[in-house]
Amino acid sequence: MSSAREEILGRIRSTQTGSAATVSVAPAPVTEPMETEAMLDLFVENMRDYRAIVREVSVDDIAAAVDAVLAEHGCHTVVVPPDLPPEVAPTSIETTVDDDLSATALDDIAAVVTTSSVGIAVTGTIVLDHCAGQARRALSLVPDVHICVVHADQVVTSVPEAITRLRASVEAGRPLTWISGPSATSDIELNRVEGVHGPRNLEVILVR
C-alpha cells in the first residue's frame, strides 16, 4: 500500500473513530386506514391513471379474462412460470412454460402471465417478489404484454404496509419488482415513450 493511500485511509479512520455524529431517520408517514371497497377503488383508479388496463373479475372468471386480454392484443404466443396456478393459466392458446428461456427466446414471445405479491392503493403499484407464480424477473420485463393477476386481499393502502408484507421476501434476499403502469420514459422533449425498459402493455386482472 502506498504511503499516500495509507495517509488518506488513516485520516478517514481517525475521523470516524469516536465520532458522536448520529443520523436521524424521520418516522414513516402514517396513512389512515381505508375501507376495503374504497381502497380497492383507489387502487384501480391509480393503476388506470398510470395507463394500466384493469379488469375486475370473480375468481371463476380469471382464465376467461386472461384469454380475452390475449385475444385483444392479438397474442399468439404466451409464456408462463412453471408454478403458475392452474386457474390463472390461459386456455385459448398453447402456453410456453419457462425453463430458463434466453432473453432472445423471450423476445419472440408476445405475452407473459404472472401473479403478484402486493398491490398498493395510494400509488397504483403492484409488487412482484418472484415467488410462486410470479416468474423470474426477466419474464416480467421482456414480453410486450404483461398480464398480472392481483387478488383483493393482496391490496394494501400504503407503501409502509406493503413493506411490512414484503419483509420476509427482503430478508430472504429475493428481488422485488415494483410496477406502476407500462414501462415508460420521456425523451429530451418530454415526449412519452413506452416499452423502452419493459412491457408496453400492463394488463391487471383484479380478483374481487
DSSP state of 133: T
Residue 206: other Cβ atoms inside 10 A? 22
Which among 189, 177, 121 is positioned nearest to 154, based on CA atoms? 121
Cβ–Cβ under 8 Å, residues 152 and 40: yes
Q: Kindly indicate whether the domain formed by 34-207 is annotated with CATH number 3.40.50.620.
A: no
Q: pTM to 2 decimals?
A: 0.84
Please tell me which residue, 18 or 55, carries the higher pLDDT value: 55
Cβ–Cβ under 8 Å, residues 129 and 116: no
What is the rounded CA–CA span in Å between residue 87 and residue 89? 6
**What's the average model confidence in pLDDT over 77-82?**
96
Q: In the prediction, which pLDDT does 1 show?
A: 57
Q: Domain spans of the chain?
A: 34-207
Cβ–Cβ under 8 Å, residues 80 and 95: yes
pLDDT tens digits for range 6-43: 888 888 887 777 666 677 778 777 777 789 999 999 99
